[in-house]
Amino acid sequence: MATVTYDQATRIYPGSDKPAVDKLDITIEDGEFLVLVGPSGCGKSTSLRMLAGLEDVDEGAIRIGDRDVTHLPPKDRDIAMVFQNYALYPHMTVADNMGFALKIAGVPKAEIRQKVEDAAKILDLTEYLGRKPKALSGGQRQRVAMGRAIVREPQVFLMDEPLSNLDAKLRVQTRTQIAGLQRRLGITTVYVTHDQVEAMTMGDRVAVLKDGLLQQVDSPRNMYDRPANLFVAGFIGSPAMNLIEVPITDGGVKFGNSVVPVSREALAGAEGERTVTVGIRPEHFDIVEQNGAAAKSLSTDTPAGLAVTVNVVEELGADGYVYGTAEVGGAVKDLVVRVNGRQVPAKGTQLHVVPQPGETHVFSTSTGKRLTG
Ligand SMILES: Nc1ncnc2c1ncn2[C@@H]1O[C@H](COP(=O)(O)OP(=O)(O)O)[C@@H](O)[C@H]1O
Ligand SMILES: [Mg+2]
């Protein structure tokens, strides 16, 4: 087992002047499950392939344990990779596919058989060892690809979107299996996905990339609770965090008819700006008034908070999501609000919402950086 260190590692593809991976700096702990996540083209596969030795490192270094592997050929790195398309040999049986790398390495036959059988047991593949890949389901093929990596007992597992060829239900099952297996084997793993739910449910830590630049590395919990910038805030979480540009006022920000308190320290970070961008997750609104009727009959005051017109209601049973619009600073803005599944508002009505105390995220509108602690 081993740590993995990306030390300012950079990849600039020939003919390009912009790095595909730009000074990547991450230390992955021994036995850790690290997920690299980000939109298509952000440099996930390139980062993984640099670690595998399948892509040059133009600047910086990569280490496995205390070995500098930056310029080592793939076969000398002691890693095993699981690809998106599994890359199984169609003419070989499951057992031969799983044992192939060991055979090439000159491992004695009996030892290979033992290792393949052990891995097959772990992966529930024992009864399929004699079959060819074409006689397997997608999920079984995926497990053979995992088995082929496991039998090598590498220092590091690398996986590039290994679930993207499975249907939705199987993908959910398999992600639990892979995460469980990784924990059992305790092998340092770098896992690539574009799916933030996969990242959040599988990783010990998650690293978010955008345009080749690392945005944040954190535990799933911290990533959700304290996104470091507007990009991470919008990328992690489904439905996405509401991000609303609001005017700064005395002691806070103006949110519809209410003032949401924001600390002086946080607002100091927005020095010289008239607005900040406030982030509120759909589950962090309090509904102070539904339909706009009740409170008006009791008082002549304008209702507190922000008026949201309900356009669509998505009912999920336990919860409902209101997709609505609100007028903020003269512009119409889309908003998502989670509501009780048993009390969903009707389409076309109005809600007044305020953010729950302590559940607002404040970002600089100009730099995107998080301002709240
Ligand atoms: N072999 C290559 N030659 C030139 N550019 C490449 C090559 N592979 C990837 N790229 C570019 O590098 C960037 C990162 O690609 P990649 O690492 O594959 O992204 P991801 O896996 O996150 O979708 C993209 O802009 C992509 O077009
Ligand atoms: Mg990729």
pLDDT tens per residue across all 373 residues of the chain: 699 999 999 999 999 999 999 999 999 999 999 999 999 999 999 999 999 999 999 999 999 999 999 999 999 999 999 988 888 999 999 999 999 999 999 999 999 999 999 999 999 999 999 999 999 999 999 999 999 999 999 999 999 999 988 999 999 989 999 999 999 999 999 999 999 999 999 999 999 999 999 999 999 999 999 999 999 999 999 999 999 999 999 889 988 888 889 988 888 888 888 999 999 999 999 998 876 544 444 455 677 889 999 999 999 999 999 999 999 878 899 999 999 999 899 999 999 999 998 999 999 999 999 998 8
49 CA to middle of ligand 1, Å?
Answer: 11
For residue 164, give the ligand nearest its CA. Answer: 2
In one-letter notation, the amino acid at residue 83 is: F
φ, ψ for residue 119 (rounded to 5)?
Answer: -65, -40
Residues in the chain: 373
Task: Map tokens 């005017």 to a residue.
Answer: 247
Token code pair at residue 251: 């002691």
Helix (H, G, I), strand (E, B) or coil at 200: helix
pLDDT at position 298, please?
47
Distance, in Å, from the CA atom of 55 to the CA atom of 358, rounded to the nearest integer, reads 45
Q: Interior CA angle at 368 toward 264 and 19, to 5°?
A: 145
Q: What is the pTM of this model?
A: 0.92
Report pLDDT for 255.
86
**Cα(31)–Cα(355) distance, rounded to whole angstroms?**
39
pLDDT of residue 67: 96
Q: Which ligand is nearest to the CA of 84?
A: 2
Residue with structure tokens 């690299």? 36
Is-cis flag, bond preceding 239, omega within 30? yes
Does an H or E element contain 193, and which? Answer: strand 188-193
Give pLDDT, residue 53.
97
Dihedral angle over CA of 21, 23, 29, 33, nearest 10: -20
Q: How far is the CA of 45 from the centre of ligand 2 (A)?
A: 4
42 CA to middle of ligand 2, Å?
8
State how far the Cα of 236 lies from the Cα of 269, in Å rounded to an integer. Answer: 23
pLDDT at 297 (0 to 100): 41
Closest atom, ligand 1, to C-alpha of 39: 22
Nearest to 273 by CA among 249, 243, 306: 249
What is residue 20's three-state secondary structure?
coil
Q: How far is the CA of 41 from the centre of ligand 1 (A)?
A: 6
Indicate left, alpha or beta for 70 from its phi (over 0: left) and psi (-120 to 50: alpha): alpha
Task: Show the domains of the chain with their CATH numbers.
Answer: 4-234 (3.40.50.300), 239-363 (2.40.50.140)
List all residues 6 or more positions away from 137 whose beta carbon is below 8 Å from its beta carbon: none
Nearest ligand, CA 24:
1
